[in-house]
A and B are shown apart, each in its own frame.
Chain A
């Protein structure tokens, strides 16, 4: 579309060029025919002039011959008369035809000259040749008739000059007209060319400006996207620990809109004595800044876990770090799974509640408490302890998993059902199955992270030594050697 619009002026210019060339061609052709016509006229005029001069000369030859004869009586003097006599009539004929062709207005004067000649032949020449008394005729008529003849021929000559001048003027006018048309066409062409050039340059400049702007925006967007993608990928590619007795699964769904690259993350770090630190979190907002805040919060939690064994104390320390950093608000759950005791301890900070699934029991929403990290200074958090059973799975998620319809009550129902279905038949990747149950036919508005931590059945874990052991963790066989009941207790971190 853009290209078509840019080519429009060029097409118009091409059409104008063709029209201008056609006008120029027609004008040139008409002027050429006019010039050749005028050239033909000139040739004819020149021929007529010669004939007129000849007509005069012949008449004078005739007269000279007659006068010589009359004066001397010698026949030899009569020779010019004899020579001229047969030629003059044909000269009159040829000149008459040319004058008619040239439409000389004074052509009639030639007829008079011819009549004068005839009269002279009859009155002067005949009487001189006829005998004595000829001299009288010469005296009486000679000069008068010859003068009239001269004046007639001069008149014809004048008529020819007029015709010549007219033809000349017409040619000059045609040339002037042709020049005018040509110059006009060239000027019009030049102006059009300039206009087309300006329009073309402007549209090209506009096009390239727009392209440059788009490219700049795209580059800026790509750069931000690349960095936040890299940060997201860095944590997604970091493998979760694989241990005897504990199985992790996780999934991450990016937001539907590309600009909404979020700050959701999860974490699993193996500590000593078979204990595992786990965490999930969400930074408020989207984009590069959220991704940076996310990375900072994750690092703060991991370093806090290396110092404190108590999740509430970990969160308290992270909160202090984030307050000092003046970063964004972060919600999180962090905790420790102890496979040797089948126990979880965890603390929450403004985050949606974990879900516990025990073999043979409906999924349960666990207690929460605590404000988000990075907003209020000096806060204390609360550690919850859960004594659970082999085959139990803890499900952690970010708000996108329950707030897809902006209704957390409905969202919790959907999530609990998805968790139940995902864990019903023992699935090696329950996080992905939960995601599929919720978002199989829903769009993820926000980004969503889901993390599951499962205690394997002891006999299955030892036999397979892999995550697949969880497939066999069916409710009916659950809890044969380990405690068969769970308990949840809470305590405030000092």
Chain B
């Protein structure tokens, strides 16, 4: 598969219940998407309602057999998503190139 078929969904800032609708809209999978890079490198916080939306997204992607890679850079978010066990639902990466490599080799 080609690089251009990776859909990048980028979110930023502090994601809390006030932005949960915005997050849900961003996480709608376009039809026939072959791979998604969920770029959270500019996200520093996610509350439980947003984390809940991330898990539902992982389930949808799994049902559609769409590989997903999550990119996290900020240590606060990495720790929060460790609590939540996000790495048990998504492959999690700290570097963009590693995430893309994963998606291209699993596409």
Which residues on A are within 8 Å of B, measured CB to CB?
282, 284-286, 328-329, 331, 348-353, 368-372, 375-377, 399, 403, 406-409, 412
Contact = CB atoms under 8 A, between A and B. Distances in A.
B44 interface: yes
A408 B88 contact: no
A349 B85 contact: yes
Interface string B69-83: 000000110011011
Instruction: Identify the 3 closest CB pairs spanning chains A and B, nearest first.
Output: A284-B48, A329-B52, A375-B55
Given A285-B48, A399-B48, A409 B75 contact: yes
Given A349-B85, A350-B51, A408 B80 contact: yes
B59 A328 contact: no
A285 B84 contact: no
A463 B58 CA distance: 55
B33 interface: no
B85 A350 contact: yes
B89 interface: yes
A114 to B, nearest CB: 113
A471 B85 CA distance: 36
Contacts of A282: 48
A286 B48 CA distance: 11
B51 A408 contact: no
A352 B80 CA distance: 8
11 contacts: A282-B48, A284-B52, A350-B51, A371-B55, A375-B55, A376-B59, A377-B59, A399-B83, A403-B80, A406-B44, A409-B76
B30 to A, nearest CB: 23
B45 A371 contact: no
B52 A376 contact: no
Interface of B: 14, 17, 44-45, 47-49, 51-52, 55-56, 58-59, 75-76, 79-80, 82-86, 88-89
B83 A368 contact: yes
A123 B58 CA distance: 147
A404 to B, nearest CB: 12
Nearest to B59: A376
Contact of A375 (B17, B44, B52, B76): B52
B43 to A, nearest CB: 11
A329 B58 CA distance: 14
A370 B89 CA distance: 9
A407 B76 contact: yes
B58 A372 contact: no
Given A282-B48, A284-B52, A331 B88 contact: no
- Indicate the member of A348, A352, A371 with the most B CB atoms within 10 Å: A371
B52 A353 contact: no
A406 B49 contact: no
Nearest to B79: A408
Given A371-B84, A371-B88, 8 more contacts: A284-B49, A350-B83, A371-B55, A371-B89, A372-B48, A375-B52, A406-B44, A408-B83
Nearest to A380: B88
A368 B52 CA distance: 18
A376 B55 contact: yes
A275 to B, nearest CB: 26
B76 to A, nearest CB: 5
Given A350-B85, A375-B59, A329 B48 contact: yes
A368 B85 contact: yes
Contacts of A377: 59
Contacts of B45: 403, 406-407
